[in-house]
Amino acid sequence: MTLYYPADGRCSRNDGGPAVPSPGLCAFRAEVRAGRLTFFKWAGAPGQSSREDGEELLLRAVEPE
């Protein structure tokens, strides 16, 4: 999944970090699996890139008060 947030475009470029630039937006790549949200980026030359996992968050349901 890609999580977008408003920005002026000054986020990581050319996949050099977890943020992905888009006109007027930046984004983080993330995957949800088995109740965990993992941010990741692709590193390396095109065609030879590998996934580098970053921060991982545990997801849980919260009942409204």
Q: pLDDT: is 57 or 28 the higher one?
A: 57
- Flag whether pLDDT at 62 surpasses 70: yes
Take residue 2 and report the two structure tokens written for it: 């890609």
Residue 43 is predicted with a pLDDT of: 80
Task: Name the DSSP class of 47.
Answer: T
Helix H or strand E encompassing 39: strand 36-43
Where in the chain are the domains?
2-58
- Strand duo 25-33 + 50-58: pairing: unpaired
Q: Whole-prediction pTM value?
A: 0.64
* Number of CB atoms found within 10 A of residue 44's CB: 11
Q: What is the pLDDT of residues 33-45, one digit of tens each?
A: 999 999 888 788 8
Residue 1 is predicted with a pLDDT of: 82
